[in-house]
Amino acid sequence: MNFLRGVMGGQSAGPQHTEAETIQKLCDRVASSTLLDDRRNAVRALKSLSKKYRLEVGIQAMEHLIHVLQTDRSDSEIIGYALDTLFNIISNDEEEEVDDVEEENSTRQSEDLGSQFTEIFIKQQENVTLLLSLLEDFDFHVRWPGVKLLTSLLKQLGPQVQQIILVSPMGVSRLMDLLADSREVIRNDGVLLLQALTRSNGAIQKIVAFENAFERLLDIITEEGNSDGGIVVEDCLILLQNLLKNNNSNQNFFKEGSYIQRMKPWFEVGDENSGWSAQKVTNLHLMLQLVRVLVSPTNPPGATSSCQKAMFQCGLLQQLCTILMATGVPADILTETINTVSEVIRGCQVNQDYFASVNAPSNPPRPAIVVLLMSMVNERQPFVLRCAVLYCFQCFLYKNQKGQGEIVSTLLPSTIDATGNSVSAGQLLCGGLFSTDSLSNWCAAVALAHALQENATQKEQLLRVQLATSIGNPPVSLLQQCTNILSQGDKIDRRGSKIQTRVGLLMLLCTWLSNCPIAVTHFLHNSANVPFLTGQIAENLGEEEQLVQGLCALLLGISIYFNDNSLESYMKEKLKQIIEKRIGKENFIEKLGFISKHELYSRASQKPQPNFPSPEYMIFDHEFTKLVKELEGVITKAIYKSSEEDKKEEEEKKTLEQHDNIVTHYKNVIREQDLQLEELKQQISTLKCQNEQLQTAVTQQVSQIQQHKDQYNLLKVQLGKDNQHQGSYNDGVQMNGVQPEEIGRFREEIEQLKSNQELLRNQLAEKDSLIEKLKSSQTSPDTNEATASARDSEQIAELKQELATLKSQLNSQSMEITKLQTEKQELLQKTEAFVQSVPVPGESETVIAAKTTDVEGRLSALLQETKELKNEIKALSEERTAIKEQLDSSNSTIVILQNEKNQLEVNITDSKKEQDDLLVLLADQDQKILSLKNKLKELGHPDEEEDELESIDQDDEDDEDKDDDKSQGDN
């Protein structure tokens, strides 16, 4: 307020005293009138004065106008007047007419007024919240001025107003409703409001995007006619750029929402030449920029790659290539389309392959790459177009070894078209490299360098390229020709920059020789190259030539660092000596540093796109700046290294190569193991399928058995009903399908099985007793362990042999049981066949029933016996398992006893050693005592203890004599 008063007091051409009084009276009427009409008229009068007397109305009336917004919400007319008045006060759009002399000062003063009034208005955050609530009113006279006022506030103090709206409940959502307004003027101004709201605020951008902004904006663009639409399309595109640029979350949301597919109709421009209005050019330019926002190299690689694939899948890339090859397209649109296609294909193999297949609509058809390269090396083409083509070629080769190989192959002798009917990309690059236009030289050299980027194979292939310089002279290699042109320097008259050609050739040579010892050898094989480089570096030239000197130092350093010492005259150590003698190491390093210190170096290192204001600024390539940054340090170290350090480094490199070979070997082994695992997994899956098939077959067999049982029951019922069977068949014919001889054989086999079962039981009892003996023998520790273990091993061997015999017997019994079951099944089938085939005369039902009952009883007995045999076999298998477990436990017990025996032997050995040590110690002690006693005797001191011991010994002898006498008397 103080500032505003100062401005007001300092105005020389301020309003007259009567106008100030009028504004004061109107403010009093707004504040004090009880009638709504009076207040409305006063506010209308203030509105009419607010444009001409902006300062006075703002100072005196702003507070009253805000009060009107708060209290008179029911009257839309007075609210509209108040909003318009506030807009006139805050906005800088409507300016008072001033003379040319005062224009600058007046504009600055007007901007200061707008920002100051905005600061006063938003000082109370409730005012912005009040304005947001007013926008909910559908009345045109309220909503439209409210939108304009809020837009003006955002233009004046955007970050502060954005923060207030962000913390306001449902603030952004209320503003999003403006896009759905049916009145175009409000909808269009709502787009402008959202432009100001979303500028440089990622949080609001995300909220707006998730409020379905993409859908609504794309609908508006479609309704307005896509690229043929008016300025509304332009505003929507600018808003979309605000939402997507540098906002990875919104870009991902845009891609996943399938909105990229809706961009394709934007670029269906047709072939007519009459439809390129200024607005259409602007719209299409913004649309191309929007595509570039999604695939920008500065985005995360994963997000860019997914957008590139989506653009190819929906046909957007194909549509852009159509514009690229169309006729009648304005130059700026063509340039931007080339840049857009460049970033859509950059680093994406699928898109790069498609671009390589695009042909221009010419007769005969030519590849799009060739057509673009023709524009790049044509000096009559616009500079920005040539830069765009170079960028497109660089993006086509970026991480595309296949494309690099195709470009280099067009230079090789075996692939060159001998008829000369068509021109190839390699021929165009060579033509540009050796033309008299320095810009063409630079572009061709950089393009060829990108064909060699991180591709050692193509660097070696390019060494094979031979060029015919003139008739009668032998061809020279491309490498030799580049060094020849470089050594000629300014002798050739060229158009353009003096150093551009040499810088381009030096960048090409540095890229070619780096990480390629064979190319270094070829370069050093020409004896004139090293003296030329040292001569260039050693001279004291002007500032323009310092960059060339730095690049020469870099090339010489690469020749040292990547030298494999195959040329005896130019080994690493000899090149270092040449530098030290002719240049000096410090001077060499200083010249090498000229590259990174150049003002254009940092500019080129920022973005991959070659974007230069004019040709003379076209010095450095983005990828080359990466190479300089990588090599500058290692070359410096290599220059200062001694020969011993070089040898150590070479040994380390060899060691690393060996390690790499080992790692590669293990990787191959792991890869083979992975393949084996995959094969095993496939086998497992196959076995699972087979298992499922077998289970299915078993289920089917079970169902078939059930069917046979049912058929058997049905047969019994039929036999019970049949009363025509004759007695003549009782003796000679089958009894219900079963011969008496077969029944006898069955019984004999059953008896044999029972006897085998009894024999097995006896054998098992013997094994149990034998196991008990083993256990008892293991529990007695006093027996001879060696003999016991030998006996146990023999018994175990016998047990294993007997177990094998038991297994074979069990298998044979199982086979016999299976055979019996098969015979039974055959008998049942014979019974059924017999019943069907033999006509029998009548017989009494009683006899038939009796015979049937007899047969059924025998069959049931047989089945019961078979079932018992199965149970007995099952019991035998369980007993066999138990025997095996007991054998295992006995083996483990034997091992434990053996371990305990070994431990006891170790303990006994240790005890004997300790006893021997104690005996040795006691003997030493006795010897010492004896020597002491002797010394005491020599000194004349009798030993009392010895006397006592002698007396004790004497008494013992007397006692022994008495015992002997007593024993003799007894005898």
Tens of pLDDT along 564-607?
888 888 998 899 999 999 999 999 999 999 999 988 999 999 99
pLDDT band at 474; cut points 50, 70, 90: confident
Q: Collect all residues with Cβ–Cβ distance below 8 Å to 859 and sequence separation of at least 6.
A: 738
- Which two three-digit tokens encode residue 937? 């005797």
Q: What is the pLDDT of residue 735?
A: 44
pLDDT band at 677; cut points 50, 70, 90: confident
Q: Would you give the end-to-end CA distance of the chain in angstroms?
A: 149
CATH class given for the domain over 407-413+424-641: mainly alpha
Tens of pLDDT along 860-916?
776 777 677 777 777 777 877 777 777 777 677 777 877 777 787 787 777 677 777
Q: DSSP letters along 328-358, please?
A: S--HHHHHHHHHHHHHHHTT-HHHHHHHHH-
Tell me the pTM: 0.65
Tens of pLDDT along 238-272?
999 999 999 999 999 999 999 999 999 999 876 55
Rounded CA gap, 523 and 507, in Å?
14
Q: Collect all residues with Cβ–Cβ distance below 8 Å to 735 and sequence separation of at least 6.
A: 851, 855
Q: How many CA atoms lie within 13 A of 86 on its CB side?
A: 32
Q: What is the pLDDT of residue 717?
A: 80
pLDDT band at 675; cut points 50, 70, 90: confident
Rounded CA gap, 25 and 56, in Å?
12
Range name among 283-287, 578-582, 651-655, 697-701 with the lowest pLDDT average:
651-655
Q: What is the pLDDT of residue 11?
A: 41
Tens of pLDDT along 60-89?
999 999 999 999 989 999 999 999 999 999
Q: Collect all residues with Cβ–Cβ distance below 8 Å to 316 and sequence separation of at least 6.
A: 260, 261, 263, 264, 267, 291, 344
Rounded CA gap, 164 and 183, in Å?
27
What mean pLDDT do residues 232-239 have? Answer: 96
pLDDT greater at residue 617 or residue 419: 617
pLDDT greater at residue 420 or residue 561: 561
pLDDT band at 104; cut points 50, 70, 90: low
DSSP annotation of 466? E
In the chain, list all ranges with CATH 1.25.10.10.
19-92+113-170, 407-413+424-641
In this structure, which long-range contacts are made by residues 405-413, counting pairs with CB atoms below 8 Å and at least 24 apart in sequence?
405/455, 405/457, 405/458, 405/461, 406/356, 407/451, 408/451, 408/452, 408/458, 408/461, 408/462, 409/461, 411/462, 411/465, 411/478, 412/461, 412/464, 412/465, 413/464, 413/465, 413/466
pLDDT greater at residue 954 or residue 324: 324
Determine the Cα angle at 513 with ends 536 and 619, to 5°: 60
| pLDDT at residue 859 greater than cutoff 90 | no
Distance of CA 671 to the CA centre of its chain: 21
pLDDT band at 540; cut points 50, 70, 90: confident
How much is the mean pLDDT over the chain? 81
Rounded CA gap, 945 and 956, in Å?
16
Q: What is the pLDDT of residue 669?
A: 86
Do the beta carbons of residue 575 and residue 559 sit within 8 Å?
A: yes
What mean pLDDT do residues 352-363 have? Answer: 91
Q: Are strands 476-477 and 466-467 parallel, antiparallel or unpaired?
A: antiparallel
Alpha helix (H) residue ranges in 722-735: 729-732
Q: What is the pLDDT of residue 643?
A: 61
Q: What is the pLDDT of residue 903?
A: 80
Q: How many Cβ atoms sit within 10 Å of the Cβ of residue 285?
A: 19
Range name among 129-133, 152-156, 663-667 with the lowest pLDDT average:
663-667
> Comparing C-alpha atoms, which of 66, 71, 62, 79 is closest to residue 23?
62
Select the CATH number that applies to the domain covering 19-92+113-170 from these four: 2.60.120.380, 3.40.50.720, 3.40.30.10, 1.25.10.10: 1.25.10.10
Range name among 201-215, 520-534, 818-832 with the lowest pLDDT average:
818-832
Classify burial at 671, counting beta carbons within 10 Å of its beta carbon; exposed 0-12, middle 13-18, buried 19 or more.
Answer: exposed
pLDDT band at 698; cut points 50, 70, 90: confident
Q: What is the pLDDT of residue 504?
A: 95
| pLDDT at residue 16 greater than cutoff 50 | no
